[in-house]
Amino acid sequence: MLKRVDILTLFPELIEPYLTSSILARAQQRQDLNLRAHNIRNFAHNKHHQVDDTPYGGKLGMVIQMEPIYQALATIKTKACQTILLTPAGEKLSMPLCHELVQHEHLVLLSGHYEGFDSRLLNYVDRCVSVGDYVLTGGELPALTLTDALIRLLPGVLGNDESAAMDSFYNGLLDWDVFTRPQKFDIFNVPDVLVSGHHQNIKRWKIKSSLGNTWRYRPDLLARHPFSEEERDLLQQFFVEEDKYEFNSR
Ligand code: SAM
């Protein structure tokens, strides 16, 4: 299980506030967990701590050089660590990948900037991860996205141990609809069953809502879902009720 994450970046000041706030801060105080950002520039041993240079063959932007990142890895890597390069070319981040990565004790995340790293860095990493098919200015948000997604999977990090297991994607489905007070807002009511106190019916409603949301917004997930008999019945029921499924409002 994950105990240590080191993020290598040119902008640790973008990362540190997030690591030291809210759930990630609390997790580090309470658990055997250490999250740190390191400035790649500190590993550049030239006069001006320069870490980048122009690309061979010509292109706009600067490329992060091999020497400082090699030195940083030599200092920070441990025997047990996995080294992950954040790049738009990587494997797309997903819940199954998070479940796999959280099993590692130590992760080193490489967050690029400008034109990215010298491509020879690929020879020194274990895998590449992308947060989606778009390009961000730097790898800081992707590194934090990955770190956050992993930390909330660790036992005891969330207030209630079961919270992560009830979130979207954990079991391959989207979350069910949630509501809070007031019971009536404008013309929209909270579904009656949720205030009925009937635990079995509430449990079935949640499964139905989760299946319905997945059908509505991510049918691709549903196509891969290994349905139980109860889930099959509830999805069927959802389809039958679909016409009046507008939050029981009218
Ligand atoms: N020239 C690169 C390209 O087109 O693939 C983009 C470089 S980007 C401006 C700078 C850095 O941001 C990358 O080295 C990477 O670390 C990070 N980055 C940007 N988009 C990302 C994404 N979708 N997933 C993961 N990292 C990303």
pLDDT digit string (tens) for 79-128? 999 999 999 999 999 999 999 999 999 999 999 999 999 999 999 999 99
pLDDT value, residue 159 = 81
Distance (Å, rounded) from C-alpha 3 to C-alpha 210? 32
pLDDT value, residue 242 = 82
Cα-to-centroid distance, 60 and ligand 1 (Å): 15
Q: Mean pLDDT across the stretch 191-220?
A: 97
130: closest CA among 116, 120, 27?
Answer: 116
- The model's pTM is 0.94
**What are 15's two structure tokens?**
């990362």
State the chain's mean pLDDT as an integer: 94
pLDDT digit string (tens) for 11-22? 999 999 999 999
Q: Does domain 184-248 have CATH number 3.40.50.11440?
A: no
pLDDT digit string (tens) for 185-195? 999 999 999 99
**Which residue's CA is minimally distant from atom 27 of ligand 1?**
87
176: closest CA among 204, 151, 208?
Answer: 208
pLDDT digit string (tens) for 60-86? 999 999 999 999 999 999 999 999 999
Burial class (CB in 10 A: 0-12, 13-18, 19+), 19: buried
What is the topology classification, in CATH, of domain 4-151?
Alpha/beta knot (3.40.1280)
Q: Start-end ranges of CATH 1.10.1270.20 in the chain?
A: 184-248
Q: Would residue 167 show up in a list of annotated catalytic residues for this protein?
A: yes
Cα-to-centroid distance, 112 and ligand 1 (Å): 7
Q: Which of 36, 41, 148, 152 is catalytic?
A: 152
**What are 155's two structure tokens?**
């036992």
Q: Would residue 140 show up in a list of annotated catalytic residues for this protein?
A: no
**Which residue's CA is minimally distant from atom 21 of ligand 1?**
88
* Tokens 């079991």 belong to residue: 171
Q: Which of 88, 175, 191, 218 is catalytic?
A: 88
Query: Which residues fall within 8 angstroms of residue 27, CB to CB, at 6 or more apart?
Result: 33, 151, 154, 157
Cα-to-centroid distance, 63 and ligand 1 (Å): 12
Q: Would residue 230 show up in a list of annotated catalytic residues for this protein?
A: no
Distance (Å, rounded) from C-alpha 226 to C-alpha 223? 9
Q: Which atom of ligand 1 is nearest to the CA of 110?
A: 16
Q: Start-end ranges of CATH 3.40.1280.10 in the chain?
A: 4-151
> Residues lining ligand 1, judged by CB closer than 6 Å?
86-88, 111-113, 115-117, 130-132, 134-139, 142
192: closest CA among 250, 247, 239, 240?
Answer: 247
Q: Which of 16, 148, 167, 231 is catalytic?
A: 167
- Ligand 1 pocket test, pick from 62, 63, 86, 93 with the greatest ligand atom count within 8 Å of Cβ, gives 86
CB 232: neighbour CB atoms within 10 A?
11
Q: Is the dihedral of CA 159, 165, 166, 168 positive or negative?
A: positive
- Tell me how far CA of residue 218 lies from CA of 19, 67, 90, 212, in angstroms: 31, 44, 22, 10
